Amino acid sequence: MSNPIKVDIWSDVQCPWCYIGKRKFEAGAAAAGIPVEVEYHSFELAPDTPVDYEGTPVQYLSERKGFPLEQAKAMIDRVKGIASAVGLDYDYDHIHQTNTVISHELIHFAKSKGRQLEMKERLLKAYFLDGEHVGRIPDLIDIAVELGFDRDEVTEALESHRFLPDVKADMAQAREYGINGVPFFVFEGKYGVSGAQEAETFANVLTQVQSERDV
Amino acid sequence: MDAMTAPLPVINVEPEDEVRLIGLTPLGDPDAAACDGDFCAIPAHHTQVVVNRRLDDDAV
């Protein structure tokens, strides 16, 4: 078997297309039958969002972009429909819009333990499916402990912001690449793919990257 | 001030004037759905949008 193709993915925890794109990428990789090595990178879409934003995602979208509430709701309903098509039941009635910087720190903490992928999936699920809060340190600690991490160790890591430099480094790398939106996929450090592509597209990209590597 | 009340670290990123990948060869559909800033657009051509539009038009 050939060496896996390295795929670096920039993504935010409260990015609906990131979770949808994750599922489509996973389906594409499975269809292509090409082994991949995935590494997630932090990307904060809205770093000025307060941790305890009191409104709903519909209100947030309406306030931030000036859309009428009905239009914002219709947009979110469409995203829910698309998510449903890939098996994700987004629960926008219970989503806690928040600031995600500390959840990114937690993902880096998990990465330091070799369990980044598990944490990434858990946090996306927490935010979009389970109505959990992914901005508060106590809530994030509980999620980490549920996954089997040591409470004292993860508490120290998050309260000290020990992994914030790693989050900043990911953002700096994104900027060097010219990445403005997520999800964003970088294959073998050479090819850039933006957005939640169809699974077939991901499979084709992997096949192309594999074939060019084999030349 | 403890860790619970301390202000969140803020990562400042200069605004980008245009989308331009540096050192990467773009692949895939350039209009695929993505979130840019705090806005997550739905591309007009997206399958679900097409279905919804057809539903709106009573075409399905």
State the 10-residue block means of pLDDT for chain A, 215 residues long. 91 96 98 98 94 90 88 91 96 94 98 98 98 98 98 98 98 94 96 96 97 84
Question: Tell me: the pLDDT tens digits for B7-38?
Answer: 566 554 444 444 567 889 999 998 899 998 77
Q: Is the pLDDT of residue B55 over 60?
A: no
Closest residue by Cα to residue A182 from A43, A39, A78: A43
pLDDT band at B59 (very low <50, low <70, confident <90, very high): very low
Query: Can you give the pLDDT at residue B2?
Result: 53
Token reading at A53: 């934003």
C-beta atoms of A82 and B46 within 8 A: yes
Separation CA A34–CA A14 (nearest Å): 29
Domain total for chain A?
1
Separation CA A59–CA A202 (nearest Å): 34
A102 to chain B, any CB pair closer than 8 A? The answer is yes
- A176, amino acid identity: E
Which of chain B's residues have a Cβ under 8 Å away from the Cβ of A199? none
Q: Which residues contact A104 (CB under 8 A, 6 or more apart)?
A: A12, A13, A42, A44, A163, A167, A170
Query: Can you give the pLDDT at residue B4?
Result: 52
Structural domain for A195, as ranges: 5-214
B53 compared with A102, residue with greater pLDDT: A102
C-beta atoms of A81 and B20 within 8 A: no
Query: Can you give the pLDDT at residue B11?
Result: 54
C-beta atoms of B32 and A196 within 8 A: yes
Given a contact cutoff of 8 angstroms between Cβ atoms, the answer to whether A45 and A104 are in contact is: no
Q: Pick from A194, A202, A210 the residue to mutate for testing the B interface (most B CBs within 10 Å).
A: A194
Which of chain A's residues have a Cβ under 8 Å away from the Cβ of B27? 187, 191-193, 205, 208
Which of chain B's residues have a Cβ under 8 Å away from the Cβ of A57? none
ipTM of the complex: 0.88
CATH number at residue A139: 3.40.30.10
Separation CA A174–CA A104 (nearest Å): 15
